[in-house]
Amino acid sequence: MSEPAAWTHQQVHHQVHRRVHAAMTAAMRADVHAIEAALARTGDLDPYSREFVAGSRRLVLAGTAALTCVLSAHRPGDDPHGGQVCRGCGTRHCRTLHGVADVLAAYTVHPGTVDRAEAWRRADAHFGRGAVPVPVIIEEFADGFIARAADGPHDDPAPLLIVDRHTGALSRWPSLPVDVLVREYTNRRASR
């Protein structure tokens, strides 16, 4: 078993969700045109391997989308007595969820960390909101990245964005000195 037996349904669900999300994110980041160009340049692969590599991004996206559907059905809930159960099967120990967790662990599917480029991409999308790109300043720290729009509005009560290195989650923060912001963010992560 990949998770400690004492883990709650919610903890296992969270770990499986992170692993599925990591696989989906890796597939979405893959450049299909670069894959096609690499396949066109090399003749080293047999036809079956070429076909697999050419369709691998689509296959991973389909598989992770299907697993997301499974996770939406087999998610944590409360029973009438205040205990935790699976909403999909009504049991305390969801065989479906634990089976998916074991398979993902066996094939070493682990959440990837967010790098500086991905943090910038997420901050750019957040601050730009689909409009004209906004210059973004990124500062790195152990648990993530602090991002600010270079020309952000001066009346914004939470002008800073933190991109979590481990989950990619975004959170808005007030303008604080970097050391204070890092300490507060680290404390908040530890309390979850």
pLDDT tens digit string along 66-98?
Answer: 999 999 999 988 888 888 889 999 888 899 999
CA 175 centroid distance within chain: 26
Of the candidates 106, 133, 165, which is a domain's last residue? 106
The residue assigned the tokens 């389909």 is: 62
Can you read off the two tokens belonging to residue 190? 């530890």
Residues 178, 146: contact at Cβ < 8 Å? yes
Distance CA 186, CA 188 (A): 5
pLDDT at site 145 = 95
Distance CA 144, CA 166 (A): 7
The domain tally of the chain equals 2
pLDDT at site 26 = 80
pLDDT at site 4 = 45
Verify that 25 and 48 share a domain, yes or no: yes
Verify that 120 and 100 share a domain, yes or no: no
pLDDT at site 7 = 63
Q: Is residue 69 part of a domain?
A: yes
Residue 148: φ, ψ to 5°: -145, 145
Of the candidates 72, 106, 140, which is a domain's last residue? 106
Average pLDDT, the chain: 85
pLDDT at site 131 = 64
Of the candidates 78, 106, 134, which is a domain's last residue? 106
Verify that 174 and 128 share a domain, yes or no: yes
Verify that 14 and 87 share a domain, yes or no: yes
Where is pLDDT greater, at 31 or 145? 145
Other C-beta atoms closer than 10 Å to the C-beta of 83 total 11
On the question of pLDDT at 113 being above 80, the answer is no
Distance CA 150, CA 140 (A): 16
**SS3 call for 76:** strand
On the question of pLDDT at 175 being above 80, the answer is yes
Verify that 99 and 24 share a domain, yes or no: yes
Verify that 98 and 121 share a domain, yes or no: no
Which domain range does residue 36 map to?
A: 9-106
Summarised one tens digit per residue, pLDDT across range 36-71 is 888 888 778 888 998 999 999 999 999 999 999 999
pLDDT at site 14 = 82
pLDDT tier, 130 (very low <50, low <70, confident <90, very high otherwise): low
**Secondary structure in 3-state letters for 38-67:** HHHHCCCCCHHHHHHHHHHHHHHHHHHHHH
On the question of pLDDT at 174 being above 80, the answer is yes
Percent of the chain with pLDDT over 90: 34
Q: Is residue 4 part of a domain?
A: no
